[in-house]
Amino acid sequence: MEKKPFERPLIKRLNAGMPSKFGMHTHIEALTEIDGLKVEDLVAEHGSPLYVLSERILRKTYRDAYNVFSTRYPRVQFAWSYKTNYLDAVCNVFHQEGAWAEVVSGFEYEKAVRNGVPGSRIIFNGPDKQEEDLKLAIQNGSLIHIDHFDELYLLLELAEKGTGKPKVAIRINMDTGIYPQWDRFGFNYENGEAWEALNRILLSEKMELVGLHTHIGTYILTADAYRIAASKLAILATGIERKYGKVIRYIDIGGGFASKNTLKGAYIPGTDAAPSFEEYADAVSSALIKSDIKPENLPLLVLETGRALVDDAGFLLGTVLANKRLADGRRATIADIGVNLLFTSFWYQHEVLPAQEVSQHTEDTTLYGPLCMNIDVIRDAIDFPLLKKGDHIVIKRIGAYNMTQWLQFITYRPRVVMIDESGKVHVIREREDLEHLIRLERIPAHLKSDDARKK
């Protein structure tokens, strides 16, 4: 018989409230394996903390999402939102599955080109596009989503200079009945700016208007907002066809679909609160199909879903460093995962699971990271099993944004590995080391260490 793991003793106040019909169940299921590989082994081989991405989940999520839309709408295209996770391996999984690239900076654009994405399959978004970036995008026939008039003027200027005929879409913001209304990106629908931009583009004849784009926000918890957004874009598309005889080739509805993570302060968990993918798809496709757009001109539906495609495939593995008791008597556990590696912990109540079997006993715990900063809190209050130093933890659904918004702070950023569909582990980003970090540093001559010692 295997020896049962030791757990520290625990005294817990008895709460004589009304138990629900399910009793007072608190047991937390451990997550000991990812795609059939032991967390323990992964950490032993690749160190802790460790980012793990599952190629199987990436592909499955993508295909499910694609099928959800393609069974509802005849022509669907996903564009991988680079900023969500631009590790080459992740991008290439999506490109292999058929996704375009959606980039928001010259850097991301370069990365997409480097990944072998043909220019015509890159959507160039965002408020910051430098002149050089735009020139390249025009020459490559990329789809430039104009964000503001100054960009429009710049494009006109470039087109006049003979850089080529830019393929453009405009980004449109609008009231979809939700708060907050994202009105800082693109041209407003209600106040007529959108039409003004469209008129300028179409009357100039220097650019080719190919699409319309909106991105109503992020973590949108109602599918109806998408219905309204799609309908408004469809109205614009029919208007453009009526006025200019120009058929809009695609409508880009952006992303922002809520993932299953729970927002801080949310009353019900994200798995229950967020609409299903199907509901979003129903809303968008039915709005377009029922619109006045002629069936033969039904535009391509482009989706820039980022978070919902990648979040579930990411796991962050860590190790308990210490346990301590706080001044008010609460327990605290310190792990080696800090907010610098889990940026999203600022707004999500991440699901943290033990990586080894635990008893049913849990304690109200604050989960701290290893940084020497007061803000380094992964979870304020979590019913957590009694882990001891050296035990491993797994944080689920961290595939989105954490590997792009992470900070190199105090210590090195860890390895990122991907488990392929056959269960083989590939390192897709090495652990940083001193060499890597000082590569860009330059020391003025008078501060060179030899000189400094002399003084």
**Cα 235 to Cα 139: distance, rounded to the nearest angstrom:** 31
Asked whether the beta carbons of 284 and 70 are under 8 A apart, the reply is: no
**Min CB(49)–another protein separation in Å:** 31
CA 64 to chain CA mean position, Å: 17
Coil/strand/helix, residue 61: helix
**What are the residues whose beta carbons fall under 8 Å from the beta carbon of 362, sequence distance 6 or more?**
26, 27, 28, 383, 384, 385, 386
Task: State the nearest-atom distance from the C-beta of 297 to another protein, in Å.
Answer: 9
CA of residue 130 relative to chain centroid, distance: 24
Q: What is the dihedral of CA 116, 120, 125, 131, to 10 degrees?
A: 90
* 438/106 Cα distance (integer angstroms): 24
Question: Are the CB atoms for 403 and 51 separated by under 8 Å?
Answer: yes
| 100 interacts with another protein by CB under 8 A | yes
Which of 77, 214, 262, 333 touches another protein by CB under 8 A? 77
State the DSSP H helix or E strand holding residue 134, giving kind and residue range, or none if neither: helix 131-139
- Candidate residues 37, 48, 65, 73; the one interacting with another protein per rule CB under 8 A: 73
Kindly compute the dihedral angle of the four CA atoms of residues 445, 446, 450, 451, in this order, to the nearest 10 degrees. Answer: 150
| Residue ranges in 124-153 that form contacts with another protein under rule CB under 8 A | 141, 143
- Which candidate, 251, 222, 9, places its Cα nearest to that of 143? 251
Distance separating alpha carbons of residues 437 and 68, to the nearest angstrom: 43
Q: Which stretch binds another protein (CB under 8 A): 68-76, 193-201, 413-421, 426-434?
A: 68-76
| Residue closer to another protein, measured from CB, 46 or 213 | 213
Tell whether residue 302 is a contact of another protein (CB under 8 A).
yes
Q: Are strands 425-429 and 416-419 parallel, antiparallel or unpaired?
A: antiparallel
Q: How far is the CB of 439 from another protein (least distance, A)?
A: 37
Query: Of residues 5, 12, 44, 71, which one binds another protein by CB under 8 A?
Result: 71
The secondary structure of residue 382, as a DSSP letter, is: E
Candidates 12, 27, 63, 294; binder of another protein (CB under 8 A) is 63
Which positions from 249 through 278 interact with another protein, judged by CB under 8 A? 249-250, 278
Provide, rounded to whole angstroms, the least separation between the CB of residue 63 and another protein.
6
- List for the chain the helix, strand, coil content (%; round to 5): 35, 25, 45
Stretch that binds another protein, among 60-68, 264-272, 358-366, 416-424 (CB under 8 A): 60-68
Contact range with another protein by CB under 8 A, out of 70-78, 341-349, 361-369, 441-449: 70-78
**What size, in residues, is the chain?**
455
**Nearer to another protein by C-beta: 213 or 392?**
213
Report if residue 75 touches another protein, rule: CB under 8 A.
yes
Q: Which two tokens stand for residue 344?
A: 């999203």
CA distance linking residue 382 with residue 157, whole number of Å: 56
Among 7, 41, 45, 64, binds another protein (CB under 8 A): 64
Tokens for 241, please give them: 């066809």
Single residue of 32, 70, 199, 405 touching another protein by CB under 8 A: 70
Quick one: which segment of 59-67, 128-136, 340-348, 407-415 binds another protein (CB under 8 A)?
A: 59-67
Cβ distance to another protein smaller for residue 67 or 408? 67
Using the rule CB under 8 A, give the single segment among 127-135, 232-240, 294-302, 351-359 that binds another protein.
294-302
In angstroms, what is the minimal distance from the CB of 64 to another protein?
7
**Scanning residues 205 to 244, which ones bind another protein (CB under 8 A)?**
210
The least CB distance from residue 271 to another protein, in Å, is: 12
Q: Does 60 bind another protein (CB under 8 A)?
A: yes
Binding residues for another protein (CB under 8 A): 60, 63-64, 67, 70-75, 77, 98, 100, 118, 120-121, 141, 143, 210, 249-250, 278, 282, 289, 295, 300, 302
